[in-house]
Amino acid sequence: MPTSALSFALGPALALALAAPVVSDYDQPPRPIKIVKPQYPRDAFAKRIQGVVEVEILIDASGNVARARVVKSVPGLDEAALDTVERWRFSPATKNGRSVATVARAPVIFEIDSKTTTPPRR
């Protein structure tokens, strides 16, 4: 199954996305249109927790993240990673000229700059 540097969480389009077949042998991969940066959880920031949460996402045929699950956890950051990928949007994968649903994996990076002493604003 092809994977991309992408990621995601359960969304309202889940029922619709599950009704369509998921394609792994697409002609064109999904392309990011809107990728938002993660919001650092205040508690994780205070504890200086850093790392990369790897998320598996289902990108539906409309380019929305329909489902997400953590496949590589960083305790204290997982929920923020899932919240982040839910807001991502894609140009969907295509197969034979038609938009199709597909699965991808994405790293969501949480890194604290050594000079930063206050958590980023929400």
- Report the C-alpha dihedral over residues 34, 80, 61, 25, rounded to 10 degrees: 100
Query: Going from the N-terminus, what domains does the chain have, and what CATH number goes with each?
Result: 14-110 (3.30.2420.10)
For 39-98, the pLDDT digits (tens) are 999 999 999 999 999 999 999 999 999 999 999 999 999 999 999 999 999 999 999 999
Q: What is the rounded CA–CA span in Å between residue 46 and residue 61?
A: 39
Model pTM above 0.85? no
Instruction: Provide the pLDDT for residue 17.
Output: 41
